[in-house]
Amino acid sequence: MSFLESKFAAVLFTSVLIGTAIYVFPSGMPQPAHMFLLLPGFFLAFSSLNLKVDLPERLLVLFWVYSSFVNLFYWLLHRETGFLLASAYISYGVLLFFIYRCVFTVQPKLSNCMLWALLCVVPLLVYLAFFGGDAFLFKERRLMGLFNDPNQMSYWLLIFTTAAFLSPFKPPWLTPTSAAILLSVIFMLVFLAGSRSALAGLSVLALGIAWWFFQDKNESRLDGVSAKKILLSSAAFVLLLVLCLFLLYLLVEPVSFAANDLWRRVNARSPLSHLEMRGYLRPVEMPEYLLFGAGQGYEARFSTRLLEIHSSLIAPLFYYGIIGWLLLYGFIYTLLRDRLSGWQWLVIAAPFVYGLFTYGLRTPVFWLMLASIYALPSKSQENATD
């Protein structure tokens, strides 16, 4: 038995994954667990570095080279360290992806560790939400757990839930019904965090669970599964969830406080103001950067508030142009196209729905989730074998 197949490897990996939910240093700085991800990763992937590099990996490498070149060019032009930091984050994410791509390709069962990490962290966050006190709340209003920010916590939950539900080695008890129960608890935590982007992502994930339920019930990928059934069951699930939250709103103070704060924030700005604040208007206002990109840094060029673009969709387009955007999302699409089908597409869409309104590409667990896709069998390899 190889080391990757041992229980120690699973325990080691799960422990490090749990550590990614604990932020010790300020936001923007590497956290201890993020560094530890590299150490066991190198160790686990040592015997699998000769794996074949296909189209998705080549596109990712091209994106890394291109984005590094763009940021280096603007650093030489403006001498602002933000460009170098952006490239450092991308380099770390790409390195993390390739390390765990090797791990999950050689030992796909390790993808299930993301589920066990999730099951360890969720009860802790529930405890902190109701009994932890103000130390675990952002500005004494929004749940952030052991993170530095409510959106960080919500994105972590969304990423790990997505990876856990997509793992082909789920335990027998993780059925669509139990997945819906787990999703309800996670929905409550994200609601307490007040992350609108994550709530939108979880709503799409709920659609995927409904599709999974009917697919599992009919023992077929598509037979007997209609969009009407999926939408009706999803609507029923969301309605039940809203009713439960309403009861909690009436009876539990943290829930009522979170609901009032979320409502206040939703109505604080107009839709156009939200788009402007998140940087959606920059590509329209400065189209000269659309082809090659503006580089990711020195935000004072574009905004007096020094805010970066808050969108994983728009940010690569503006910072690295159409060229960089096509390389990045071409990599993601070709990777997913070869391994996902049916309800899995809705599940994987959840983090990208989050990314419509919040920038999450530099979060290490995002790249870890993408690497976990390699635990799923490749359709092209199966067809070649047939």
Q: Is the pLDDT of residue 267 over 50?
A: yes
- Residues 115 and 164 sit within 8 Å (Cβ to Cβ): yes
Confidence class of residue 245 from pLDDT cuts 50, 70 and 90?
low
Partners of 143 in beta bridges:
137
Q: Which residue has the higher pLDDT, 386 or 141?
A: 141
- Residues 174 and 359 sit within 8 Å (Cβ to Cβ): no
187 CB burial (10 A radius; 0-12, 13-18, 19+): buried
Confidence class of residue 301 from pLDDT cuts 50, 70 and 90?
confident
Q: pLDDT of 5-19, one tens digit each?
A: 778 888 989 999 999
Q: Is the pLDDT of residue 224 over 50?
A: no
Confidence class of residue 113 from pLDDT cuts 50, 70 and 90?
very high
- CA 138 – CA 119 distance, rounded (Å): 23
Dihedral (CA of 192, 198, 203, 208) sign: negative
**Alpha helices (H) in 194-313, listed in sequence order:** 196-218, 227-251, 253-266, 271-277, 282-285
**Which pLDDT does position 342 carry in this prediction?**
87
Per-residue pLDDT averaged across 292-302, rounded? Answer: 91
Instruction: Give the residue from 206, 112, 213 showing the smallest Cα distance to 158.
Output: 206
Instruction: Give the residue from 115, 109, 121, 119 showing the smallest Cα distance to 44.
Output: 109
**Which pLDDT does position 288 carry in this prediction?**
92
Q: Does the model's pTM come out above 0.95?
A: no
- Polymer length of the chain: 386
For the chain, what is the radius of gyration of the CA atoms?
A: 21
Confidence class of residue 20 from pLDDT cuts 50, 70 and 90?
very high
Instruction: Give the residue from 81, 89, 83 showing the smallest Cα distance to 71.
Output: 83
**Which pLDDT does position 14 carry in this prediction?**
94
Q: Is the pLDDT of residue 145 over 80?
A: yes
- CA 383 – CA 187 distance, rounded (Å): 38
**Which pLDDT does position 89 carry in this prediction?**
94
Q: Residue 35 contacts by C-beta under 8 Å, 6 or more apart in sequence?
A: none
Confidence class of residue 248 from pLDDT cuts 50, 70 and 90?
low
- Residues 367 and 94 sit within 8 Å (Cβ to Cβ): yes
Confidence class of residue 223 from pLDDT cuts 50, 70 and 90?
very low
First to last CA, the chain: 29
Q: Is the pLDDT of residue 45 over 60?
A: no
DSSP of 107-168: -GGGGGHHHHHHHHHHHHHHHHHHHS-GGGEETTTEE-TTSSSHHHHHHHHHHHHHHHHH-T
Helix axis angle, 343-354 to 196-218, nearest 10°:
180
- Residues 366 and 151 sit within 8 Å (Cβ to Cβ): no
**Which pLDDT does position 255 carry in this prediction?**
63
**Which pLDDT does position 256 carry in this prediction?**
63
Q: Which two tokens stand for residue 148?
A: 């530095």
- CA 102 – CA 45 distance, rounded (Å): 6
Confidence class of residue 220 from pLDDT cuts 50, 70 and 90?
very low
Q: Which two tokens stand for residue 251?
A: 């009876």
36 CB burial (10 A radius; 0-12, 13-18, 19+): middle
Dihedral (CA of 51, 57, 63, 66) sign: positive
Confidence class of residue 379 from pLDDT cuts 50, 70 and 90?
confident
- The Cα-based distances of 325 to 67, 296, 310, 330 in angstroms read 10, 13, 15, 8
Confidence class of residue 265 from pLDDT cuts 50, 70 and 90?
low
- CA 192 – CA 205 distance, rounded (Å): 18
Q: Is the pLDDT of residue 219 over 70?
A: no
Phi, psi of 137 (to 5 degrees): -115, 145
Dihedral (CA of 310, 30, 152, 61) sign: positive
**Which pLDDT does position 6 carry in this prediction?**
78
Phi, psi of 81 (to 5 degrees): -70, -15
**Which pLDDT does position 103 carry in this prediction?**
87
